[in-house]
């Protein structure tokens, strides 16, 4: 019976991991533009706080009604640490940076995250393979090429915020894999609730205020971020993080940039320079090396 269960588990992973990666690649790629639209009415940290508070309450309430047990005290603590790192710093700083850089450039800059993820995973004894390391270095070279263009050079504060966001997200991902976390979707709900409190505190403490008359497009973008970007895509990320190697779980950061740039060009008229295109090409080469390495393993 145990062999049958193991076989079924591997079969589920062969289906669910590609589906989860597709959600990360496309949905999270589109959220950068949705953030830009939402920032037209909502300040950055309150935008992220309201997004995760609404999504977290909805998901937590649904799970509790379905009979899912609430996290233990230790699990709440671990969810708070991880949520603040991934969603508080990781997403909050991206919202802050997008006031100064385009949505596509923000996504490309965050592509440095897998390199930090590999470093932090190595500190826990899970070093990348040689081929994965080559892919990570190629991807990071693409980020360097990107910085040669005008997209990030015009706002050093925005660039620093994006790099800090990538580092916090990477460390939170590596740290959480070795902690007692809530199971399944409850992990998503707990992290969003904890992160929302931190983001709202930073927003209100920094003088931000919710708009009295937000535009319809900004509110629609906020709803999209909460439902698709938070509940669906973040749940998919936590699943991949638990069932795949770190290099593959974080490969979405290499695919999100061209997706985000495509949405930005088509729907918002954003400009893409030659260094931006060259950086994306090198970054995509890096993720191809990582993916092929995993398939060979």
Structure confidence by residue, pLDDT tens digits, 48-104: 999 999 999 999 999 999 999 999 999 999 999 999 999 999 999 999 999 988 888
Please give the structure tokens belonging to residue 94. Answer: 């991206």
Residue 118: predicted pLDDT: 74
Distance CA 28, CA 113 (A): 14
Q: What is the mean pLDDT of each run of 10 residues along the chain (297 residues)?
A: 48 79 90 95 97 96 95 97 96 94 81 77 75 82 72 72 92 90 93 97 97 95 95 88 78 81 84 77 77 61
- Reduced to 3 states (helix: H, G, I; strand: E, B; else coil), residue 97 is helix
Distance CA 164, CA 244 (A): 24
Residue 27: predicted pLDDT: 93
The DSSP H or E segment spanning 172 is helix 156-176
Residue 6: predicted pLDDT: 46
- Reduced to 3 states (helix: H, G, I; strand: E, B; else coil), residue 33 is helix
Residue 4: predicted pLDDT: 43
Q: At what angle are helices 156-176 and 73-83 packed, to 10 degrees? A: 150
Residue 193: predicted pLDDT: 97
Distance CA 70, CA 75 (A): 9
Residue 10: predicted pLDDT: 55
Residue 1: predicted pLDDT: 47
Instruction: Kindly provide the b/e burial profile for residues 103-125, where b requires at least 16 CB atoms within 10 angstroms of the residue's own CB.
Output: bbbbbbbbbbbbbbbbbbbeeee
């Amino acid at each position: 019976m145990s062999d049958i269960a193991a076989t079924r588990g591997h079969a589920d992973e062969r289906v669910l991991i590609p589906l989860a990666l597709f959600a990360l690649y496309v949905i999270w790629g589109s959220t950068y533009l949705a953030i830009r639209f939402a920032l037209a009415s909502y300040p950055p940290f309150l935008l992220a706080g309201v997004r995760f508070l609404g999504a977290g309450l909805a998901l937590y309430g649904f799970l509790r009604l379905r009979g899912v047990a609430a996290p233990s005290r230790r699990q709440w603590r671990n969810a708070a640490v991880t949520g603040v790192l991934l969603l508080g710093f990781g997403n909050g700083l991206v919202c802050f940076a997008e006031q100064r850089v385009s949505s596509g450039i923000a996504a490309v800059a965050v592509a440095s995250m897998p390199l930090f993820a590999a470093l932090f995973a190595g500190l826990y004894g899970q070093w990348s393979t040689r081929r994965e390391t080559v892919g990570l270095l190629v991807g990071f070279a693409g980020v360097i090429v990107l910085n040669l263009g005008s997209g990030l050079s015009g706002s050093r504060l925005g660039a620093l915020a994006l790099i800090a966001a990538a580092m916090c997200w990477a460390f939170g991902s590596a740290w959480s894999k070795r902690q007692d976390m809530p199971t399944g979707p409850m992990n998503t709900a707990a992290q969003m609730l904890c992160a929302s409190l931190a983001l709202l505190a930073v927003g209100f403490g920094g003088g931000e205020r919710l708009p009295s008359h937000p535009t319809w497009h900004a509110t629609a973008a906020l709803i999209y971020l909460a439902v698709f970007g938070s509940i669906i895509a973040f749940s998919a990320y936590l699943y991949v993080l638990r069932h795949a190697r770190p290099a593959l779980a974080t490969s979405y950061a290499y695919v999100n940039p061209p997706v985000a740039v495509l949405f930005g060009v088509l729907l918002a008229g954003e400009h893409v320079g030659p260094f931006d295109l060259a950086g994306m090409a090198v970054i995509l080469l890096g993720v191809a090396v990582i993916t092929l390495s995993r398939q060979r393993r």
